[in-house]
Chain A
Amino acid sequence: MTEANYEKTLAEFGDSFDLVHRSFHQDKFRIVYLNSLVDSQSLEWEILSPLREMSFNHLEQATDQSLFKRINDQEEVIKGILDGNVAMFAGAYTYLINVPGFEERAISQSERETVINGPHDSFNEVLQTNVSLIRRRIRSPRLKMISLSVGDISKTRVLVIYIEGTAKMSIVNQLKERIQAIKVDSITDSNFLIQKLDEHQNSPFPQFYTTERPDIAVSKLYAGKIIGLVDDSPNIICTPSSFFDFFESPDDLYQRWTIGVAVKLLRYLALFVTLILTAFYVSICTYHYEMIPQSLLQSLMQSRSRVPFPPFIEALFLEIVIELLREAGARLPTKIGQTIGIVGGIVIGQAAVQAGITSNILIIVVSVSAIASFIVPSYGMSASIRLVRFLFIIMAGFLGNIGIFFTLGIVIIHLMGLTNFSSPYIKAISPAFFKSWMDNIIIKPFYRNK
């Protein structure tokens, strides 16, 4: 441990643009801070004015407040200044005065997880604000937080939050240990952290549920789960997560339960449509023409008669175009994004058919499967499903229907082997069978909830 020292502190920061150092009363009190990280008003009221007026007559008494923290270690002083504290050197003593204040994004509606009913606020990038959004929803001292730090250089703060008595302490401790064991220089977002925490890092499926909605975070806490907040990230992580969590939307709970259940089942249907529909088209048109009823066969043949490519190439081409459009739409500013929508609509709509590159029916099939993929509420899961869909298409082109079922087998066997903090990723088939189905897949009627 190095003794905290004014000169050393200044030397450490060098000629930083936002470094401010001042002294008062013939160098009796010296302060150092970064003006980009402190709140100027609090600084004036809490530190500068009392120092100028020399109202720190009883230094011991004044520094006894929770605002002041006496520190001896040089490293802690540096860390404190970087956290938005003012370091005050008063004789032999060094204090950190907590007056943080920096620019933050206002609490706004979540763009990724929109709901029709229910609260509309969402987390932002500031840890303190995010904690306050949770605190004000759970007014209980049982809400506990463990503060950790990740990243050798970034020293990003990570909070593990749980409700004592509801969450399993074994998982809390396990999560804490795993976060502490992470060795990286920096993390910039919670999505980075979860990839470090994943038990199956090469799986395409997201294993930690993330959300930017405080109401979901709180409902997870009440359900006995543990959430993790990362400073500078609006996404909170939730564990243990199951595959079915990714198909939930808070709207399911804010509607009549029957409607909620129907919508949820619709999402599972969408999952299968996304995965299988295009692949099924490829398979039928390549190997199993006999499966098409006679009435449909004529229009399909007419539609395909001008297309010079095999169904596999045709479908792959259109799927890739859709993915290009989606990615372009996601990266471009909203105003240009509209143009992409129009261009894409024309290209993959009428023009591709007229040019004889694809068939009408394939456009319907691909569009339906694209729409179905966006029904999945979690963007991460939706992206995974879209990627896996390509495997289905390739296998359908290669082996037809049996190829689709081989792929389904591979995916399901893979999913059944996944775990999140030692709890199975697909819980519905864990021992208490029917009850788990009710809890995980279908929403219970509200009158049966405690």
Chain B
Amino acid sequence: MKAGDHLKERLHPFQLSILLYSIQNGLVVYTLPRVTAQYFGTNGWLSIIFIFILVNINILLIATIYKLGKGRSIFEIIEATIPKWVMIPIYLFIICVWIGLASMIMREYIFIMKIFFYPALPAVYFVIFFTLLGFQLLTGGIHHITKAFVVLICFVMPMLALLLYLISEFEFDRFTSFYFKGGTDYFEGSLRVYSAYLGIEVSMLLFPVVDKKWTKSLFIGNFFSLFIYLIVTFMCFGFFSFDQVLNDLYPIMTLFEYTEVSFLSRAENLCFCVFAFKILATTVIYYWGAQKTLENIAGKVKPGLWIILILATGFVLALIPGSVAHVEKWSNWLSNCAILIAWALPIFVLGVLFIQMLRNQMLRETDYAK
């Protein structure tokens, strides 16, 4: 291997599956049982599966772009038909949404952490460390990010084993025999549940660095998320009564409070702290997506400058919200925008691709006629 060869190395589908799982907005899982119960009613956990199918359709769109575009980056595809200056406002909108969402996810995590464990510590310390880790990862590039998260996620996964300690309290009776009764707003609920799968749309920018058969990683990574969300929410519905789930702000946090092993009790702290890696993954991948889009807008600027600019913006944004409610409001709004991007961008790129294909076919037919 020559110097720098590892930079050209394609990402392995296994690594990608883990990366794609880790970048999905995991923070939602802490509120997921309540959200599903509130919006979908009894046995609301089933909604996670329905939304999963929707996300798979979204992923299918991305995979189709990759197949039809023959591995070209989405910027290349778009800019082959539409001039760059027309696209700049859309690019800027995407960048703003992604940076904003990343900061809000980070800040929401910090707020929850502060409320539960560090009421006296200023939030800025946590933001500094998130930014520092983000800087370390972004300067290393996507290969570095992927490899680091493959290892970091290994620390998050074992926390699932703690659920085994709760099995003795689990009862199927608590699920009730009613389905989706007492729900409020299915559409709003779907958006909230969908936001748990967000993050995967940034994979649209991974085209130039991935293996040919990478698309299966998208589905595997997404299935991983489904599995985790489902198992945790299912456990919650069987551990607490429906009313408890409905009235608890962070049911998963309460769930882990009940764990007790011989040398450790109340593992919710440990679980939530390890979860920082998952939050970091989501934050960093959105920052990375913003960086790549910015690089496409102005390719001549050094990537280091963009990284500093993005991180500085993220840092400042993260310090603005004053309460959890405030940050949740922003987070919901931005995640709705991100869902819009996740659907509209692939459909738009597919449209561009079809136009290109039609034009090519017409050209071929004209050539043939000559």
Contacts and interface: CB of A to CB of B under 8 A. Distances in A.
Contacts of A424: 6, 147
Interface stretch (B60-68, B133-141, B247-255): B133-141
Interface string A226-257: 00000000000000000000000000000000
A1 interface: no
B132 interface: yes
Interface stretch (B82-90, B261-269, B331-339): B261-269
B155 A423 contact: no
B213 interface: no
Nearest to A296: B263
A422 B8 CA distance: 12
A310 B145 CA distance: 37
Contacts of B12: 430-431, 433
A422 B2 contact: yes
A429 B152 CA distance: 11
Contacts of A287: 117-118
Interface in B134-183: 136-137, 140, 144, 147-148, 150-152, 155
Interface stretch (B23-31, B271-279, B285-293, B298-306): B271-279
Nearest to A170: B2
A288 B269 contact: yes
Contact of B151 (A168, A290, A429, A431): A429
A433 B11 CA distance: 12
B187 interface: no
A321 interface: no
B263 A293 contact: yes
Given A291-B269, A429-B147, A409 B152 contact: yes
A171 B3 CA distance: 10
Nearest to A408: B155
A291 B266 contact: yes
A256 B277 CA distance: 38
A240 B15 CA distance: 23
Contact of B1 (A400, A413, A422): A422
Contacts of A416: 140, 144, 147-148, 151
Contacts of B75: none
A426 B262 contact: no
B4 interface: yes
B348 interface: no
B260 interface: yes
A170 B1 contact: yes
B126 A402 contact: yes
B125 interface: yes
- Decide if the interface of chain A is mainly helix, strand, loop or mixed: helix
Given A296-B263, A426-B151, A290 B269 contact: yes
B359 to A, nearest CB: 38
- Decide if the interface of chain B is mainly helix, strand, loop or mixed: helix
Contacts of A417: 136, 140, 144, 148
Contact of B265 (A170, A294, A401, A406): A294
Interface string A403-436: 0111011101110110100111010011101000
B276 A410 contact: no
Nearest to A398: B125
A405 B273 contact: yes
B12 to A, nearest CB: 4
A429 B6 contact: no
Interface residues of B, number: 43
A387 interface: no
A414 B136 CA distance: 8
Contacts of B274: 405
B367 interface: no
B286 to A, nearest CB: 17
A223 to B, nearest CB: 16
A401 B269 contact: yes
Contacts of B148: 412-413, 416-417
A401 B264 contact: no
Contact of A422 (B3, B15, B144, B264): B3
A405 B262 contact: no
A292 interface: yes
B3 A402 contact: no
A353 to B, nearest CB: 21
B150 to A, nearest CB: 5
Given A293-B265, A409-B133, A399 B155 contact: no
Interface in B100-121: 113, 117-118, 121
A174 interface: yes
A199 to B, nearest CB: 9
B14 interface: yes
Nearest to B1: A422
Contact of B147 (A404, A422, A426): A426
Contacts of B126: 399, 402
A273 B292 CA distance: 39
Contacts of A410: 132-133, 136
A174 B3 contact: yes
A400 B292 CA distance: 35
A429 B149 CA distance: 10
A429 B150 contact: yes
B155 A291 contact: no
Given A402-B276, A406-B129, 18 more contacts: A168-B1, A170-B2, A288-B269, A290-B265, A291-B264, A291-B265, A291-B269, A399-B121, A401-B269, A405-B273, A406-B276, A412-B151, A413-B137, A416-B148, A424-B6, A429-B150, A431-B12, A433-B15
14 contacts: A174-B3, A291-B264, A291-B265, A291-B266, A291-B270, A408-B155, A409-B133, A409-B276, A409-B277, A410-B136, A417-B144, A422-B1, A430-B147, A433-B12
Interface of B: 1-6, 9, 12, 14-15, 113, 117-118, 121, 125-126, 129, 132-133, 136-137, 140, 144, 147-148, 150-152, 155, 260, 262-267, 269-270, 273-274, 276-277, 280
Q: Which 3 A-B pairs have the closest CB atoms?
A: A431-B12, A401-B273, A416-B148
